Amino acid sequence: MRFYVGAIRRCEAKYNLFPEIKHFCLAPTLTPYAPQGAKILLDSGAYGDVRRGRFTFNQGLERQLAFETKHQFISERIASYDLLIDEQMRGDRRIKSRWAEKAGWKAVDETIAAAEFLCERRESLAPRQLVLGCQGVNIDQYETCVSAIQEIANPEDCIGLGGWCIIGQQRRYLRLFGETLQRILPLIAAKGHPVHLFGVTHIPALRHFALKCRDICILASVDSARFSYEPSRGFLFDESTGKSYRYMGKQHTWEKIKENIIAGHRFISRIEEWKPMQLDLFEGGPE
């Protein structure tokens, strides 16, 4: 599975610490630099706008294109400005919290409109591949969103699956994730779209996604900033177990960050081959 590495800092990219990594995910609101010659998935910036307030579709696209111009690259992929259903503000604090069902339909409508906006500008955005994000708080909403976006998409467009990074903090959504994939992946495969999963590196869930896509011949990808941030929080990723562990020593060192990103990239790129020590949630193991 293709893995787009997120949150590379200027100092790390400048010195080309990752010559073996070709794919990176950048947000026009967060990441100031991309390695030379990298293949970029340019996010919409919607995550950062949860706190700042949303842009119009046109403002969001202008921000993405201005970011490209400033940093002198053209993205391989560009994401639509979907409305996130697992982020909320409580006062001045942003929290991971799934929206209520009624509010979820608003997010579905806005997300479909965002995809339509990008599709209408397909010609001017070439050669960028469009990543058309989907959202929904339950299976029916997600299927509705995917089906509506497929009606306006071209076969070469990528279907983006948003709203699932909440799994990293709230495991109770794992079953819903698996059941939603069971419903929507055959629809995506029938139209021949590639699919991108936004921001999920919970390993059992990611492996389940990768295997499902492989089994029905869907080209799959994922992005995450997890491995860029972990060393600053005192964690390193262990490829042998698929888990992160606390380590003793200096944090924030370039070498630790480099090692962690390379380990995470290598693991996720071949996650279909990983054999967990015990059955995961989706294979009948303990929850």
- Taking the domain 2-283, which CATH number applies? 3.20.20.105
Q: Could you give the CA distance from residue 156 to residue 105 in angstroms, rounded to a whole number?
A: 27
249: left (phi over 0), alpha (psi -120 to 50) or beta: left
Q: Indicate the range of 20-34, 132-146, 147-161 predicted with least confidence.
A: 20-34
pLDDT tens, 8-46? 665 455 545 667 888 999 999 876 566 678 899 999 988
Q: Could you give the CA distance from residue 171 to residue 177 in angstroms, rounded to a whole number?
A: 10
Structure tokens at 217: 């011949």
Q: Could you give the CA distance from residue 264 to residue 228 in angstroms, rounded to a whole number?
A: 9
pLDDT band at 280 (very low <50, low <70, confident <90, very high): low
pLDDT exceeds cutoff 50 at 285: no
CB-CB contact of 149 with 115 (8 Å): yes
Q: Indicate the range of 53-67, 68-82, 270-284 predicted with least confidence.
A: 270-284
For residue 158, the SS3 value is: strand
For residue 80, the SS3 value is: coil
Beta-strand (E) ranges in 162-280?
195-198, 220-224, 235-238, 243-246
**Residue ranges of domains in the chain:** 2-283
Q: Is the peptide bond before 276 cis (omega within 30 degrees of 0)?
A: no
Of 35 and 117, the one with more pLDDT? 117
Q: Indicate the range of 109-123, 152-166, 220-234 predicted with least confidence.
A: 220-234
pLDDT tens, 176-224? 999 999 999 999 999 999 999 999 999 999 999 999 999 999 999 999 9
